[in-house]
Structures are given as structure tokens and as C-alpha cells.
Structure 1
Amino acid sequence: MESSDVELDFQRSVQAVLRELNTPNPALQRNQGMWRWSLHKKVERNPGKSSVLVRILLRELEKAESEDVRHVIVPLLLTLMCVLTKATSITEELYHRAYTFCTRLLTLPAPYSTVALDCAIRLKTEMAVPGTLYQRTVIAEQNLMSELYPYQERVFLFVDPELVSASVCSALLLEIQTAQEQQTPEACMRHVVCHALEAALGDDCHTGALNRKLQATSRRVLEYYFHAVVAAIEQVANEDNPSRLGHLERLEEIYCSLLGPATTRRRCVGDFLQDRRPSIPLPGPCITFHLWTDQEQLWKELVLFLRPRSQLRLSVDLEALDLQGLRLDWGLARVSTDSGIERDLPVGSDELPAAPSSEMERAALQRKGGIKKRVWPPDFSMPGSWDGPPGLHRRTGRPSGDGGQLPGVSRVHTARVLVLGDDRMVGRLAQAYYRLRKRETRKFCLTPRLSLQLYYIPVLAPQDPEASGKPELGELASFLGQADPWYESTVNTLCPAILKLAEMPPCLDTSRPVDPFILDVITYYVRMGTQPVYFQLYKVKIFTNLSHDPTEDIFLTELKVTIQDSKGPKEGSSPRRRGAAEGPGAELSVCYQKALLSHRPREVIVSLRATELVLKAIPAGDTEVSGFSHCTSPNAPGCSCLHVSVTEVVKSSNLAGRSFTTAANTFRTSSIQVQSQDQRRLTLWLDKDSRRTFRDVVRFEAGPCPEPCSRAQKSKMAGLNSHRQETETKVAKPNSLLMPINTFSGIIQ
């Protein structure tokens, strides 16, 4: 294909993506997301033309900036970064142009400045040492061991088998297994070596011959060259003033030791012009598939991710944990079985360099001592200067500094927890997240070393449009789609594709390479979705007997209250006045704090007869997407607001007798208390989940869930309450617990 034809093809694809963002049409929803995916596939099939697409994307970004069309900036910028991570033939002029554009966006409000800053940091690293982003992505996602870049990531895919059909679970598991069988650790190391050498040497690199040479070498020789390339790049990337000339010389030495002298290489490069620039794929992340059947399953999987059984024994505080019946997906979770001896190569082993230079000698791995076990203090409390919610720091493409770390602790693990399902599944995730945070206040073993990122892909079973009374199970996905148009176009459209995949017959031929659309979109989402939307968790105290302690639970999206059938008075109780229980519904006493923009406390107490109450934490309309219910910053004020809908019974008398009608009333509150005043009990449903039903309730209290506190923090707060002024007491109260779900841009104002 001629260069002009390639550029025209890329231009048409980019314009199709822009049309999809500018004119969303419900009739075209089944094709949404395909344009972006097909654009990336075109680049993979023709990697030598990546610079053409980069120029087109930069031109469209600069046009959007000049015309102030901001809603297309984040999609185009993330598409640009995805191309730059894989490409090897980008000129310094294009890198500098992209970096300059990102720095100009820093003057815009969030989320544009936030995304631009993240991209600028990555671009600065790539400009200094080309190929760094690709290398670090593969090392982290594939859990390849490297002392110079020890960061590791894993995607935990959780599916509730009671909410998602068995056919969907089987289809997803089969697609994950088929894709990961084709990206072995050896293949990933070959990709890293080839990509680094091609990024440094450019047209002088004969990638086809290099790849064939690496395929013919043994595992130990391949590891030697892999670690030599990693050392060459990381040592230069960590320098304050990196030398491009010295970096090029080191990689040329590695290249010559593989294919021979540089003069021979340059003489023969014309003979292999046709296969000189094959596509070097970027392997997908390591994904483990889990059926969510245990309340503590999330915490257990994170423990095993931090401490694989084949490498470390559990610490004292974890050995007491009963892990019986815990099954690890060893087929999907890649755990290194290496001995740790990486310089131990036999004399005369095939194709080792005869006389490596001093730089390569330092890059070679040596025998290391045993892994030292760290003993944690029993009362290790959370530091007060922690930057943002514990364990929820964004990854910016380069190791973070020591300012946000605990002494002697390195946060080298990133767990990307991805849940599939509807609002009920996200409610279960909120429960697990709360338990994990509460457990961390007692042991504090995961938070210092683990960056936890949460993702959500809606999978909604088709519902009968004529069916009435069933709850809407996609409210959270609709809210995220309204808040982030790129999430709506890329992620929300996966639901029909996943259901269609489940209906297709399985392909048992694993010899052919697969080109999975669903896994590619999941990979794009977990890599580029770095901007969280924080959701307030709400705690509810449930009383079935006012003389007993309440049962506590949390909810994220909805709390629904209905009236049970009336019960007769208990023996010994005084009879109520006649007619008190007549008519539908029940007499309720409602006390709530009215939600005001001024955040001034205003308590309202009312008595009414109602048949139903619905407490919603998700805004219903487009105008409330950036209202008070959710925020993009954990420290933003006014993020908690419940929307309460009451179906009130109105009694009227006329000549025909007494009649009852219903009226819907709505109000906003930050906290609420409801108590039944007659013999009729209440039934509570949390997060639309029938498994989380509470019956025979006489009273409940709902409000923002506070951050879990340790015993030391609770005693400190108690001391403040007894010895200090009221203003200081308010400062000592814990913050509300917010759960982040990652999107591409957060909430676009």
C-alpha cells in the first residue's frame, strides 16, 4: 500500500472515531468501540507507518485545542499514547511536538490537565530513552523478574457465577487461556529485546533476522540478552542527563554479539529489506479469572499475589489465616520457578558473547542472596501524611518517589481488580473493599506494598421490556458513561459483544493466533483507564429489636425499603388505638439531615404513612452527573448525598367513605433514620441484590461510611472528645470512605 493510501486510510479511521464522539446515535451503539479497535489493528499490521498516524492524531489534537472542542482531547491523547508505546520509528520532532502539546494542556482544568500531566511524564521518559515504555509495560504486566525494574502488575477478573451465566464465564475463560498460551515468557522476552534494539538502531536493525536468532537460542541465553537490554535502558533512563550516544553504543554491542559485526550487518541489510520491519506485538497483561464465591476471596487473592507460595512463606500474621480450600489458578497466574541464579551459564553454552564489554559485564546478573523476610511492627499505624486514599495511588509510568512510601517499603505491585456484572456485582465489590480496608487497620500488610486499582465492565442480561417491577441493574454503568464519553464508547458497548461471544461455539484450535476483540478492549481499559471516579460508600445500621445491637452493612447504589404484612401485637403489649394500622403502608418516623449546598446542618423530623422508600446514591439525570453525589478527588467537599424517594399514602374522606391515594415525594439527605411506629415491619434490599435482604426490621439508620480506624486512632479520637473543644472534635472525626472506579478521564465537567 502506498504511503498516501495508508495516510488516507488512517485519516478515515480517525474521522470515524471523532464522528462517534461528536454525534452519539443509539442506532449505532452496536458498532461503537470498533473504530478505535480497528485503528489500532491497522497500526499493528503496518508498524512502519506509525509515524503517519502520530502526525494525524497530533493534527487533530491541535485542531481540537484551537477550536476548544475539549471532549475529544482525552480519547485522541490516549490513542496517541497507545501508538507511541508500541512504535519504534517515531522521530524526535514528533516526540517533542507531542510533549509540547501536553504541557500546554496543563493550564486546563481537571481532568484534562491530569491526563496531560500523566502523558507528559511518560513522553519525557520515552524521549530520553526510546523503548522504555514498551519495556516497562511488558516487564510489569508479564511479571518478568528484573532487579532494575521490579514493578509487577496483574489483572484479577472477577465474575459472580450467580449473576453471570455459565456460558459467558466459559467463553471468557476460554478466550483468556487461548490468548495467554500464545504469549509465553520466552516470547515476551524476545519482544522486549527486538523492540529495544529496533527503537535504538532504527532502519539499521534487521528485526526479522534478530527474531529468528533469538528463537533459536536457549532459555538461559535469551534471559542473558533480555537482562542485558533491560540494564542498558534502565541505567540510562534513571540518569539525570542521559547520553543517547552511550546508550546507542551499548545496544549496538548487544546487537553485534547476536548477529555479528556491524559492517556485515549494514552490508546485508538490503538483502533482507522485505522482512526487515515485522510487527513486534505488545503482549496483553497477565489476567487471572476468578469465580467470586467467597466473601474474603479478594483479600486472599491479593495476599497470594504479593507472596506466591513458590517463592515466599507467609509471614507470622498471615500464617494464622486459614487458607484451606483456597484454589489458585496456576494455569493463568504466572509464577516464576527460577532459581535466582542468572549468571550461572555453563562454559561453552550456545551463542554466548565471547568477550563482553565492561558495560555488558555489569549488566549480567549475578547470584544473589536469599530473600530476606521483613518483620512488621504489630501496631503499625497509617501515616498521617499519606497522599490520598491508602493504596490508591495512580501509576504515572515511572517509579514514584520515596515521599509517599513507608520507610523501607517499596510499592512494586499493582493489582488491577476488574469486575464483570451489573450493579449487584459492584455492590459485592464495595463490600469486599470495605472489609479489606477494615482488615488493613488491624494488620496493615497489603496497603504499603500494593497499589489497588478497581475497574468495572457492565454485563447486563437482556431484560423483557414488558416486565415490570424489576430493578434497573445498569445505573452505575450509565452514570460512568455520562461522566466519561470515552468510557461510554469503549467499555459500555462491550456488553453486547460479550453476550454474543457466549453464544458462539468454542474454537478448540489453539494453534492459530487469536485476535480477540473483548480482550483487546479489556487490555486498553486497564492500561489507559487511570483516572478514578470516587463513589461514597454508605453504612446502614439495621435494628430488628431496639434492645439489641444492630446489624451493620454497607451499600453503594441503592437501599430499597418496603412494608411487610402487619403482625399481631405481642403478648403483654398495650393495644394501639383503633384504626392506626388501617390502610396500606405503615406509619414511619423519619429524621434526616437535609443536604444543602452550604453544608450547614439542618435536621428535619417528619411522620408519614408510606408504602416504599428508595435511597439512591447514583444520580438519575444527566444534570446531576457532576453534582454532589460523586467526585473526582478524595478530598473534595460535598461528595455524599442520598436521593430519597418516598411513596407516601394520602388519606382522604368523602361521601363514599375513606379512600387512600399515593404520592411520590423526593428529597436529598446526607444521613437518615427511619423507624416504624406501628406493628408493621420493614424489609430492606441492599444494592438490588436479593441475597442481601433483611426482614423484620423496625428501625434503620443510613449515612456515609467512615474510614475504618485502628484501635489507636479510636482511642485518640475518644481523648479528643473528652478533653478538647467541639471544633477540635470535628477535626478528629474520620473521613468518609470513598471507593474509586477507574475510567479514562474521570468526570468531565
Structure 2
Amino acid sequence: MESSDVELDLQRSVQAVLRELSAQAPAVQGHQGMWRWSLHKKVERDPGKSPALVRILLRELEKAESEDLRHVIIPLLHTLMYVLTKATGITEELYRRTYAFCIRLLTLPAPYCMVALDCAIRLKTEAAVPGTLYQRLVIAEQNLTSELYPYQERVFLFVDPELVSPSVCSALLLEIEAAQVHQTPEACMCHVVSHALQAALGEACQAGALQRKLQTSPRHTLEHYFHAVVAAVEQMASEPSPSREGHLERLEEIYCSLLGPAATARGRCGGDSLQDRQPGIPLPSPHITFHLWTDEEQLWKELVLFLRPRSYLRLSADLEALDLQGLWPDQELARVSVLSRDSGIERDLPLVVDELFAPSSPERPGLQRKGGIKKRAWPPDILMPVSWDGSLELHRRTGRPGGDGELLPGISRLYTARVLVLGDDRMLGRLAQAYHSLRKRETQKFCLTPRLSLQLYYIRVLAPQKSTSSRHSELGELAAFLGRADPWYESIVNTLCPAIHKLAEMPPCLDTSQTVDPFILDVITYYVRMGTQPIYFQIYTVKIFSDLSQDPTEDIFLTELMVKIQDSKFPKDGFSPKRRGVAEGPGAELSICYQKALLSHRTREVTVSLRATGLVLKALPAGDTEGPTHGPPTVAPVTDNTCLTVTVTEVVKSSNLAGRSFSAVTNTFRTANIQIQSQDQRLLTLLLDKDNRRVFRDVVRFEVAPCPEPRAGAQKSKVLGLSSHQQQEMERTEVKAKPLRMPINTFSGIIQ
């Protein structure tokens, strides 16, 4: 195929992706999610098309910038970066234009500037040292051993067997296993060496001969060249001003050592023949482990096992003595003994906690006391786990180890756990419980947070039912919210639900020699790699009283709390009987006290008593109403996911010539805190996150408020060395504890 035909074919595919984002036409809807996948497949099958596709994507990005078509900028930028990660033979001029475009995007508001900054940092390294992005991605995802780049990643795929059918679970497991059967460590090391040499040497590299040589080499030889290539790339990437010429010379030495003296002569003559010039180098899918979520503590256990097999970081004696699965909190964590290197003068002490924990070398001598021991209390921000949302992820994925990407001095988050859950809103409710439990554990042990970056992902998988079923659509409300916030998520991820069910209906392929394109796995891989922008969802705590004289039961919910009126009644003791002749009517008399959510963020207490047949508290905006139902509805902004939308079905009594009658009126308001109590003999039933396994019956009263950060209750016991003034400051900080929000990664975050 001629060059003009290649570019025309790629241009048509890119235009199909743009039409999908812009038109939303019915003809396009049937192929949603397929255009991006087919575009990347064309380049994967013929790597020589990569420069042409980069030029086309860059041209479309510059056009979108000039015409202010912001809705296509982030999808096109992610598509471009995914091509650049795998491509070889990209010219410096294309790198320079792409980098300049990302720099210009920094003047735009979030999330455009955030995505552009991430891309610009990676582009700067890749332009100076080609092949760096590919090498780091494969090393981290395949858990290859490397001292210069010791980061490790793993994708944990969690499926609730009670929410997802066994056929879907089996189909996903078979596709994951089939794709990973050829991804041995030896094969991945071959890919890293081949890609680095081709990216640096270009057409002078005999790609076919190089790959054949690597595939026939014994493991020890392959490991030798793998470590040599990784050292050359990482050492050059760590230089403040890397020299591309020096990098090229170093890789030429490795290349000649591999193929022998004939490699240089053949390179001058043009390398391999035309059909053997540039064979494709696949980008292996990440290491994915499949888990059936049957245990409440399963997420914690899997994360602990992920950190245990190979540890590249020796912590201090205090953290080494911590049992990762123990139940006893470490009360002496604030008392850290370190080697004293200061002058002993108070003013010479550093202002920050430095060298609390330093990676020790194999020849580390015994701990000695020189001039005294410094004993300090950790500052509050360092004492407690700051976040699990991967706020340090940008530096970790793009920079070299250490530096600004450290949670504590000397300790980097070397591990990244990408937790991907499949299911509906009920599964996310259980994920919120596990996330809250992890944060609560870390206030006692503080053993995962210093080393682990936790990334959360979600793919909606609903049971195959009729689309007209209202209950069926309600179970996917959070996925619908993510699709409204991020159109690229709607196009790529939300379209997987029917594709997964089609995969489950297909008969399994028993011929393992036949090569297939695993569409589901490819889209999952694209999502976990490029979905780096989180959307935060408020977790709410609910205190449930079955008896007002006893302590309440506490639980949390993420998406919805539904309240139903039971037919049963309280015992007569302690309640005044109703007057005779007064019709109770349907529902129950409720006392509702809440803080009204105002745009000014001022507190306004509202207390009402009304008769209602039920309530629904939703943490996600439905995008339709607020306030009375009379008059035109107002559209809720997609960013307003920080308060509860309360819908009350009120019973209104009216009198006419025919007698008394009752009618139902729906009222809606927004709040962040609410207390509801039954005033007559009717009991309440609470349903959390639409999950029939999370039901509380015979409820008298309940209170809902934003769930605070678990660290707030643990700070007091670990700062006993502070002065009284500092203690008062800490107590005021505890009162104003930040609410706990669970991040779910998307491609762009919330687009305004």
C-alpha cells in the first residue's frame, strides 16, 4: 500500500473516532468503542504506519485547538500518547511539535492542563531517550527485576460471583489466560531489548536478525543484555541534559555485541530485506490476576501478598518489625531513632523530618550512636496516610526513582495496585466498604501506604435484561455519571457491557495455536494504562438506631440509601395512643432535620414533620431536579457530587364532599447531613447501595453525614510529645476532619 493510501486509510479511522465523540448519531452508536481499538490494531499489525498516524493525530489536535473543540482534545491526546509509547522511528520534529502542543495546553483549565502536563513530562524524556516509556511500562507491569527501575504494578480484577454470571466470569478468565500464556519473562525481556535498539538505531537496526538472535539466546545471556539496555536507558534518562548521541553510541555497542562484527557492515548496507525490516514488537498486556470477591478482607489480603514476594526496599527497624497482617497497632511509631549527623545545636536541626527511613545497603553496618539520638514526633501530614489516590503517580510514571515522588524521605511508592471491579452499583458499595476498611487499618499499622499506590477502576457489567426495566438502569447510575463527566469513558468503557455478554455467549476456542484479537482485554488494558485522572465520590456514614437507649450501628454507603415504611409497629410502651376517629393514612409520621445545601456554603438548619411513604437518599445527581416539583426542572451540574439528593414521597391529606382523601407528592432537596426519626409506631427499613444483603430492619432513627477520614481519630494517641498549644491545634484539626472520598479513575476526570 502506497504512502498516500496508508494516510488516507488512517485519516478515515481518525475521523470515525471524532464523529463518535461529536455527532452521537445512531449509525455510529453500534460501533462505539470499536473505532479506537481498530485504529490501534492497524498500527500494531504494521508498525511502519506509526509516524503517519502521529502526524494525522497531531494535525487534528492542532485543528481542535484553533477551533476550540475541547471535547476531542483529551481523547486524541490519549490516542497519540498510546501510539508513541509503542512506536519506533518517530522523528525529533514530531516529538518537538507534540511537546510544544502540550505546553500550550497548560494555559487551559483543569483537566486539560493536568493531562497535558503528564504528557509533556513523558514526551520530554521519550524525545531525549527513545524507548524509555515502553521499557518502563513493560518492566513495571511484568514485574521484571531491575535495580535502576524497581517499580512494580499489578492489575487486580475483582468480580462478585453473586452479581456477575458464571459464564461471564469464565469467559473473562479464559481471555486473560490465553493472552498471557506467551508473556513469559524471557519474551518480555526480548521485547524490551528489541524495542530499545530499534528506537535508537532506526533503519540501521537489523530487526529481524536481532529478534531471532534474542529468541535463541539462553536465559543468562538474555538477562545480561536486558540489564545492559535498561542501564543504558535509565542512566541516560536520569541525566539533567541527556545526550542523544551518547545514548546512541552506548546502544550501538550492545547491538554489535549481540549480532557480532557483521552487524555494522550490514547496517551500512541497509539492514534486512524489505519484508524483514521492521517486524512488530508487541506491547504485552499487564499482569492481571482474577479474583472472585467472596471475603470482606480479600482486598487487604491480596495487597499484602502483592508487597511480600519481592521487596526492593528495606525499611527501618520500626517498620520491619511491623507484622503486615498483625492486629496490634504500633504505638511507638512516632519515636524514631536515627543516626545523628547534626552539630548538636538546636538551630541546626532541619525543619522537616529528614532521613527517617533510608534504604539500607547490603553492607549496612550496625546502628551506632554518634553524638546522641534525635527523638521527634512526626508532623500530622506525615504521621497519617495522606491519600491512596496516587497523588505521586505523575512523577512515579514519568520520572526516575526517588526525588519528588517520595511519601517519606528515602521511601518511594514502588508498588502500584490497580484494582478493577466489574459489576454494578452494588459492587461499588462493597468496594467503598473495603476502601474505608483499608484507610482505617492504615491509621493503626501504616504499612501499606508508604509503599503502595492504590488506583481504583470500574467497568459496569449488568445482568442481561430488558432495557425498559427501571431497576436495571438504576443499578448503573454511577457508570452513567462517569460517562456524563468524561465522554471518552462513555465511549471506551461503558460500551464494554454488551461486548462482555457477547463474549460469554461465544463458544470457547480450543485451538490455542490460532491467534485472536482479545478485544475485551485490550480495552481493559487501555483503560488501566491511560485512565490516570480520578473522580472523587463522597462516602457517607449512617448511624442506625433500633433502640434509642442503646448505641447505634454504623455503616457506610456510596450511591444510595433507600428508606421504606414497615407494616409492623413499635410496642405500645412509651408511645401515646392516637386519638380516636383520626385516620392515620398510609406511611409514617417522620421528623426530618437537615442542613440545607446552599451555593453560599452557609449552614441553614431545617426541621420538618411530615407523613411519608418512603425516602431515597442519592449521593449522585440525577441531572434533573431540585426543590419543589412545581415549575420547570433545573439541570443538576455533573460536578455536584458532594451532597445528598433526598427525595421524599409525602402523603398529603385533603378534604372534599366525598370525605377525606390522600395523595402523594414528591419533594426533593439537597443536604450533606440529615437525621430522620419515626414519630408514630411505624418502623423503618434501610437498604444500602441497592444491595439486598445490606438491609437494616426495625429502625427507629438514623443519621447520615459525610464519612470523615479514618486518621482523624488516631492522631491524638501518636502526638503525645507535643505541647499543649500544639495539642489544641490538633484537636481543632480533628473537629474539621476532611471527608473521606473514594477515587475512581477515568481518562480526563470531570470535564466542565
Q: Do they fold alike, i.e. is TM over 0.5?
A: yes
Looking at structure 2, the residues matched to 398 and 684 of structure 1 have their Cα atoms a distance apart, in angstroms, of 48
Task: Spell out, residue by residue over 1:452-487, the C-alpha distance to the aligned partner (whole angstroms, 9 max, x if none).
Answer: 111111111133356566671011011110111100
* 2:13 alignment partner in structure 1: 13
Q: CA deviation at 1:684?
A: 0.4
Paired residues for 1:64-463 under 5 Å: 64-261=64-261, 262-266=263-267, 269-270=270-271, 272-308=273-309, 316-318=321-323, 321=326, 369=362, 383-384=381-382, 389-390=387-388, 392-393=390-391, 395-396=393-394, 397-399=398-400, 401-402=403-404, 404-463=406-465
The DSSP-based 3-state class of the residue aligned with 1:89 is coil
Q: Which amino acid is the alignment partner of residue 323 of structure 2? A: L
3-state SS of paired residue (1:274): helix
Query: Which runs of 5 or more residues in structure 2 are unaligned?
Result: 328-360, 368-374, 625-633
Alignment partner, residue 736 of structure 2:
733
1:575-724 correspondence to structure 2 within 5 Å: 575-578=577-580, 582-621=584-623, 626=637, 629-630=640-641, 640-709=642-711, 711-714=713-716
Measure the CA separation in 1 of the matches of 2:31 and 2:638: 31
- The aligned amino acid for 2:141 is E
Q: Secondary structure at the match of 2:140?
A: helix
Q: How many residues align?
A: 693
1:56 paired residue number = 56
Displacement, 1:509?
Answer: 2.1
Provide Cα deviations, 1:632-667, integer angstroms capped at 9, x if missing partner: xxxxxxxx2110000001112233222211110001
How far apart are the structure 1 equivalents of 2:730 and 2:602?
14
List aligned pairs for 1:489-500, cutoff 5 A: 489-500=491-502
Letter in 2 for 1:392: G
Distance 1:578 1:294, change over 3 A: farther
Q: What's the CA shift for 1:22? A: 0.6
Q: Indicate the larger mover: 105-114 or 573-582.
A: 573-582
Amino acid at match of 2:309: P
382-391 or 495-504: bigger deviation: 382-391
* 2:390 and 2:454 in contact (8 A); partners too: yes
Deviation at 1:267, TM superposition (A): 5.3
SS at match of 2:408: coil
Amino acid at match of 1:697: V
567-576 or 153-162, which deviates more: 567-576
Letter in 2 for 1:260: G
Contact 1:483 1:625 in 2 (8 A): no
CA separation of 1:370/1:591 partners in 2, compared to 1, >3 Å: closer, same or farther? Answer: farther
2:557 is the alignment partner of 1:555: yes
**Which range moved further: 712-721 or 462-471?**
712-721
1:380 and 1:443 in contact (8 A); partners too: no
Query: 2:746 matched to 1:748?
Result: no
Deviates more, 1:261-270 or 1:733-742: 261-270
1:5 & 1:168 partners in 2: Cα distance?
40
Hey, what's the Cα distance between the residues in 2 that align with 1:485 and 1:56?
22
Q: Tell whether the 8 Å contact from 1:536 to 1:629 is kept in structure 2 after alignment.
A: no
RMSD of aligned Cα (Å)? 3.0
Higher mean displacement: 147-156 or 253-262: 253-262
Q: Give, in whole Å, the separation in 2 of the partners of 1:250 and 1:724.
A: 58
How far did 1:119 drift?
Answer: 0.3
The answer as to whether partners of 1:643 and 1:669 remain within 8 angstroms in 2 is: yes
**Structure 1 residues 497, 539: closer, same or farther in 2, change over 3 A?**
same
Are 1:501 and 2:503 matched, yes or no?
A: yes
- Judged with a 3 Å threshold, the aligned counterparts in structure 2 of structure 1 residues 39 and 625 are, in CA distance, closer, same or farther, namely farther
Structure 1 distance, partners of 2:442, 2:194, is 42
**1:266 CA displacement:** 2.3
Aligned pairs (5 A) from 1:537-552: 537-552=539-554
In 2, the alpha carbon distance for the partners of 1:151 and 1:194 equals 21
Cα–Cα, structure 1 residues 62 and 573, in superposed 2: closer, same or farther, change >3 Å? closer
CA deviation profile, 1:10-66 (whole Å, cap 9, x unmatched)? 000000000111111355433101000000000011111211111100100000000
Deviation at 1:246, TM superposition (A): 1.5
Amino acid at match of 1:415: A
Counterpart mapping for 1:500-539 below 5 A: 500-539=502-541
Q: Is the 8 A contact 1:479 1:625 kept in 2?
A: no
Q: Which amino acid aligns with 2:65?
A: E
User: Following the alignment from structure 2 to structure 1, what is the Cα–Cα distance between the partners of residues 3 and 95?
Assistant: 21
**1:709 is paired with a residue of what secondary structure?**
helix
Amino acid paired to 1:420: L
- Within 1, Cα distance between the matches of 2:276 and 2:247? 26
Identical counterparts, % of pairs = 74
2:335 alignment partner in structure 1:
none
In structure 2, what residue type is equivalent to 1:221? Answer: T
Query: Residues of 2 paired with 1:465 and 1:32: CA distance?
Result: 18
Offset at 1:513?
Answer: 2.8
The 3-state SS of whatever aligns with 2:215 is helix
How far residue 720 of structure 1 moved from its aligned partner, in angstroms, is 12
- How much does 1:373 deviate? 13
1:466 to 1:80, Cα distance in 2 relative to 1, 3 A = closer
CA distance in 2, matches of 1:473, 1:173: 24
Measure, in 1, the Cα distance between the counterparts of 2:95 and 2:668. Answer: 53
Q: Distance in 1 between matches of 2:469 and 2:484?
A: 26
Contact 1:88 1:199 in 2 (8 A): yes
Distance 2:539 2:200 in 1: 49
How has the CA–CA distance of structure 1 residues 310 and 450 changed in structure 2, closer, same or farther, with 3 Å as cutoff?
closer
Give distance in 2, aligned partners of 1:196 and 1:586.
71
Report the Cα offset of residue 576 of structure 1. Answer: 4.2
Give the aligned partner of residue 47 of structure 2: 47
Q: Deviations over 1:181-211 (max 9, x none)?
A: 0211111100000000000100000111000
Asked if the contact 2:377/2:719 (under 8 Å) is kept, the reply is no
- CA apart distance, 1:249: 1.1
Task: Name which of structure 1's ranges 8-17 and 400-409 shifts more when overlaid on structure 2.
Answer: 400-409
Contact kept? 2:135, 2:192, Cα under 8 Å: yes
> Alpha-carbon deviation of 1:383?
2.5
Q: Distance in 1 between matches of 2:27 and 2:155?
A: 33
C-alpha change, 1:601 and 1:154, in structure 2 (3 Å) is same
TM-score, scaled relative to structure 2: 0.87
Shift of 1:385: 9.4
Q: Aligned letter for 1:492? A: N
Over 3 Å counting, the alpha-carbon distance change for 1:740 and 1:469 in structure 2 is: closer
Contact 2:392 2:406 in 1 (8 A): no
1:558-614 Cα distance to aligned partner (Å, 9 max, x none): 000000013263457653444677211000000000000111110000000000100
8 Å CA contact 1:494–1:518 kept in 2: the answer is: yes
> Do 2:418 and 2:454's aligned partners in 1 also have CA atoms closer than 8 Å?
yes
Q: Which amino acid aligns with 1:493?
A: T
Shift of 1:138: 0.3
Residues in 1 aligned to 2:635 and 2:242: alpha-carbon distance in whole angstroms: 49
Contiguous gaps of at least 5 residues in structure 1? 323-367, 631-639
Name the CA distance, whole Å, in 2 between partners of 1:439 and 1:185: 35
Q: Determine if contact 2:385/2:449 at 8 Å carries over to the other structure.
A: no
| Contact 1:194-1:210 within 8 A present in 2 as well | yes
Summarize the Cα distance change of 1:615–1:572 in structure 2 as closer, same or farther, 3 Å threshold.
closer
Q: Which amino acid aligns with 1:692?
A: R
In 1, distance between residues paired with 2:11 and 2:640? 40
Contact 1:394 1:530 in 2 (8 A): no
Contact (CA 8 Å) 2:389, 2:743: kept in 1 or not?
Answer: no
Structure-1-length-normalised TM-score: 0.87
* Matched residue type, 1:179: A
The CA deviation at 1:243 is 1.8
